Amino acid sequence: MGKTRVGILTAGGDSPGLNATIRGFGKAAINHHGMEIIGFLDGVRGLANNNYRELGSSDLSGILTLGGTLLGTSRDKVHKMNIDGEVKDMRQTIVENYEKDGLSALVMLGGGGTAKNALRLADAGLNVVHLPKTIDNDIAMTDTTFGFATATEIATEAIDRLHSTAHSHHRIILTEIMGHRAGWLALASGIAGGADIILLPEIPYSVESVVETIRLRMSRGSTFSVVAVAEGARDKSDSADLAAAQLLVDSASNPEAERAARTHLANVVDAQREHTFKLARQLEAATGLESRVSILGYVQRGGTPCAADRLLASRLGTAAAQCVADGVFNVMVAARGDGTEPVPLKDVAGKVKMVPPDHDWLETARQLGTGLGD
């Protein structure tokens, strides 16, 4: 009987810790369990094209500290993939490639979109293990995700540095931090960096409330303020418009209505794209303090993973190898305290882990006197 042969890929946005997780899984799979590993290139597109490379122990050497992913990535959907200008369902092709390559399992590293792809492939008959990756920390059913700790450190350092400029020039500086749907990254780095105001997608803000916090600081002698703004944060009016547009998509009764609703939603999103700059203008007009915006963007995804993410990546990677060895499939390997736990993909896919209104971090921010815009 031949060795167990396993495929691995990285999908979605890049994130610190991807290579560390590939290494964690690969070393355990090859050296401890005696498996063979192939790495599919550029996400699920590599699955569809059967484009892969063999991975041996030497390929895993020296990648623990590297940012990005040695396998490449993409945001394709397995059931709606653009192939030569035509959108096709590639699940059957992927199943055929999986069988042709003699695979016993497929390990997929990625975020929420990857979890949904993993469930689609599991439903198509493949043995799948998903590992939770995202700097946003918004994947359901896991305590944390690899990439989050490093991004928090990067965003915190940026806030630290912006404090000196804000103080020197008596300015309001708004730091836009990644997080479309969930505000974990802005909240964590905002607290760690001592931001005076933190604005999250979960708490639609009032401009008047933000102004009030800044004026209170001014009355106490502070001539500057630092505002950490999640990219998905919106004021109450914009939040209502966005929610109404999303409701049209969710309630569309036919394909034509859904297309029209999605076009409307895209227009609303585009109209709100510069919301942080809009807020900066509003704050400058209301307080008389110069306001500036710093958008951290993709810097938050890059570079060497921190020690916490390397440790998490190694734990999740080796746990995934154990799942394959034990025949535990169609699960996400979740971080649970100091350990791990396999969670059914159906309990993860399509769900978003938001910051709950009673979370301890929010209470910490309030007791520190940090404004939350509500």
- Catalytic sites, residue numbers: 136
| The dihedral formed by the CA atoms of 358, 363, 364 and 366, expressed in degrees to the nearest 10 | 140
Rounded CA separation 214/227 (Å) = 10
Selection from 44, 374, 52 nearest residue 213 by Cα: 374
- Contact yes or no for 155/189 (Cβ under 8 A): yes
Rounded CA separation 208/223 (Å) = 18
Identify the H or E element spanning 264: helix 255-271
Selection from 40, 39, 37, 35 nearest residue 2 by Cα: 35
Identify the H or E element spanning 39: strand 36-40
φ, ψ for residue 32, nearest 5 deg: -95, -40
Residue partners of 373: CB distance under 8 A and separation at least 6: 197, 199, 203, 204, 205, 206, 209, 210, 233
Place of tokens 């999250």: 200
Given its phi and psi angles, is residue 170 left (phi above 0), alpha (psi -120 to 50 degrees) or beta?
A: left
